[in-house]
């Protein structure tokens, strides 16, 4: 509401005036300064503050006595939320300004900024920062923080779990992956797309040889419900061209402009009948009309391929402005570095992780759902992915523990299947791993490590959900370069 925005501005000024002595004391005594950068998905809980019993709060940086945070917050939420910044004050300074307290003894000046928005960015300085809703229903928020934490040495040892003293640096946690694009048609207009996986190993091998870039066999794709798929019409004869079979360009049934769009496509073979004069067919309508007049024959196959579209009529995937590789920003913003339609290449940011047996894998991300976490990664929201859970592999991300280049600022992820496994799929269902005691962590490198830690009750494993919807990504594993 507008009054909150006005009130927020006033309170910021008042809060600064009242907080100058305390802020000066804190900075003077701050013997430890640490950098914090992380992205985290949080589900709100009942606001513990007095007088807020029917409201929801998601604390991004929780209050910790003697600690001061300074930095920027970028967030997306499942519901419109307020930004709440808390400033620790003396009890004598609490009169005349909004305050927040749990026990009535420790008092915080409360700055509320209400933009009535599901997302945004803000610079903050305070003892805590969170996202707040006046409603009683839970919300989920994905928040990215880039800033500093200042506290005494004693307080730093009690800092929130997002800060970890242990870290592990693997070589080349991100690399650039240059992938060949194919040209197709949609309603007569060009589309540029990539082929990363196929349920048919023979097709995967043939396309790999033709494009000089490996298409992975993904047998689990055969279990995908066909009603949620694109159709990709591939010509087996007719007009010579650059199609995957050496004839005219393929034709797609949908583009990302359509609600029915999916990165997964069911292959339909198109063959010109004898004594017919082939022409270029530019749309599904052209194909169906030619089929009705018996000029061509259509054969629906059981082959399903992962064919993410990169450029389509009036649109394309987001391209990163910052081309610099960085552990802390690789999961935020677009996953594409460059698009070259002239030479038909796209360059993705590929993330390093561990396969089920501990081998190094690299994967890219092309689209995701639900919208909140997908938007945080700069991915197009693709609701059709939600129907593919039965044909998805598991990808585990860590929410605390050893610091690393994972999406939450901790160690890199582990997947339960990789190319060559019967359970491999390019579609990932994200789960989170949380150490019960963040001070007693070890590096987990494979599925046996996860299973052992879970059975010994040292970690909790649960699906990553937003408003009770699974978080799914099209994240195919690509062939690892010889010298990444």
Among candidate residues 146, 39, 120, 36, the one with its CA nearest the CA of residue 464: 39
Residue 362 lies in a domain: no
Q: Rounded to whole angstroms, how far apart are CA atoms 470 and 43?
A: 13
Do residue 8 and residue 123 come from a single domain?
yes
Which among 266, 281, 311 is the end of a domain? 311
CB 15 within 8 A of CB 9: no
CB 398 within 8 A of CB 408: yes
106 phi and psi angles, rounded to 5 deg? -90, 120
Which among 260, 286, 311 is the end of a domain? 311
Residue 433 lies in a domain: no
pLDDT value of residue 343: 97
pLDDT tens track, the chain, 484 positions? 443 333 343 333 334 333 333 333 433 343 467 778 888 888 888 888 888 888 999 999 988 767 788 888 988 888 889 999 998 887 776 666 788 888 788 888 888 888 777 888 888 888 899 999 998 888 888 888 888 887 643 433 433 434 334 666 677 888 999 999 999 999 999 999 999 999 999 999 999 999 999 999 999 999 998 888 999 999 999 999 999 999 999 999 999 999 899 999 999 999 999 999 999 999 999 999 999 999 999 999 999 999 999 999 999 999 998 787 766 567 777 899 999 999 999 999 999 999 999 999 999 999 999 888 888 788 999 999 999 999 999 999 998 888 888 888 889 999 999 999 999 999 999 999 999 988 888 999 999 999 999 999 999 999 988 778 889 999 999 987 654 4
Residue 481 lies in a domain: no
Do residue 27 and residue 123 come from a single domain?
yes
Do residue 15 and residue 146 come from a single domain?
yes
Among candidate residues 129, 130, 117, 107, the one with its CA nearest the CA of residue 79: 117
Do residue 60 and residue 31 come from a single domain?
yes
Residue with tokens 């010109």: 272
Q: Coil, helix or strand for 480? A: coil
Do residue 216 and residue 140 come from a single domain?
no
Residue 62 lies in a domain: yes
Do residue 295 and residue 151 come from a single domain?
no
CA distances from 130 to 92, 104, 105, 306 (A): 25, 19, 20, 39
Do residue 188 and residue 149 come from a single domain?
no
Residue 115 lies in a domain: yes
pTM: 0.68
Q: What's the maximum distance between 2 C-alpha atoms anywhere in the chain?
A: 95
pLDDT value of residue 32: 61
Q: Coil, helix or strand for 108? A: strand
Q: Rounded to whole angstroms, how far apart are CA atoms 361 and 350?
A: 10
Range of the domain at 40: 2-156
Do residue 103 and residue 195 come from a single domain?
no
Do residue 152 and residue 182 come from a single domain?
no
Phi-psi region of 21 (alpha: psi -120 to 50; beta: other; left: phi over 0): alpha
Tokens of 470: 């699974």
Residue 305 lies in a domain: yes
Total structural domains in the chain? Answer: 2
Residue 146 lies in a domain: yes
Distance of CA 335 to the CA centre of its chain: 9
Q: Rounded to whole angstroms, how far apart are CA atoms 301 and 299?
A: 6
Which among 295, 311, 327 is the end of a domain? 311
Do residue 181 and residue 304 come from a single domain?
yes
Residue 390 lies in a domain: no
Do residue 266 and residue 122 come from a single domain?
no
């Amino acid at each position: 509401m507008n009054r909150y925005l006005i009130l927020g501005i006033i309170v910021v000024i008042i809060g600064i005036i009242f907080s100058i002595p305390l802020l000066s004391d804190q900075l003077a005594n701050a013997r430890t300064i640490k950098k914090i950068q992380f992205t985290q998905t949080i589900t709100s809980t009942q606001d513990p503050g007095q007088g807020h019993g029917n409201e929801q709060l998601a604390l991004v940086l929780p209050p910790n006595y003697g600690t001061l945070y300074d930095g920027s917050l970028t967030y997306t939420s499942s519901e419109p939320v307020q930004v709440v910044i808390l400033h620790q004050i003396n009890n004598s300074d609490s009169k005349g300004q909004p305050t927040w307290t749990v026990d009535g003894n420790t008092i915080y000046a409360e700055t509320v900024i209400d933009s009535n928005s599901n997302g945004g960015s803000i610079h903050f300085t305070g003892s805590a920062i969170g996202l707040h809703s006046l409603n009683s229903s839970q919300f989920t928020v994905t928040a990215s923080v880039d800033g500093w934490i200042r506290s005494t040495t004693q307080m730093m040892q009690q800092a929130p779990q997002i800060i970890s003293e242990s870290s592990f640096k693997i070589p080349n946690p991100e690399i650039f992956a240059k992938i060949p694009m194919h040209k197709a048609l949609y309603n007569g207009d060009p589309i540029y797309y990539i082929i990363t996986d196929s349920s048919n190993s023979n097709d995967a091998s043939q396309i790999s040889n033709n494009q000089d870039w490996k298409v992975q066999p993904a047998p689990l794709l055969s279990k995908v419900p066909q009603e949620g798929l694109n159709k990709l019409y591939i010509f087996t004869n007719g007009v010579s061209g650059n199609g995957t079979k050496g004839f005219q360009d393929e034709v797609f049934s949908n583009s990302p402009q359509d609600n029915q769009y999916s990165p997964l496509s069911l292959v339909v073979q198109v063959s010109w009948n004898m004594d017919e004069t082939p022409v270029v067919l530019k749309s599904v309508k052209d194909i169906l009309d030619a089929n009705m007049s018996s000029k061509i024959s259509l054969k629906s196959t059981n082959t399903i391929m992962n064919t993410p579209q990169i450029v389509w009529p009036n649109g394309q995937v987001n391209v990163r402005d910052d081309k610099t590789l960085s552990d802390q920003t690789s999961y935020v913003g677009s996953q594409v570095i460059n698009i070259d339609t002239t030479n038909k290449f796209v360059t993705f940011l590929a993330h390093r992780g561990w396969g089920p047996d501990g081998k190094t894998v690299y994967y890219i991300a092309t689209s995701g759902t639900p919208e909140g976490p997908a938007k945080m990664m700069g991915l197009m929201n693709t609701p059709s992915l939600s129907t593919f859970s039965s044909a998805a592999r598991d990808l585990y991300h860590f929410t605390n523990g050893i610091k690393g280049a994972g999406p939450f600022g901790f160690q890199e992820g582990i997947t339960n299947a990789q190319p060559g496994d019967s359970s491999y799929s390019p579609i990932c269902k994200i789960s989170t791993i949380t150490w019960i005691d963040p001070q007693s962590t070890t590096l987990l490198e494979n599925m046996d490590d996860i299973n052992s830690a879970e059975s010994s009750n040292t970690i909790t494993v649960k699906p990553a959900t937003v408003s009770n919807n699974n978080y799914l990504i099209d994240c195919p594993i690509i062939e690892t370069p010889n010298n990444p």
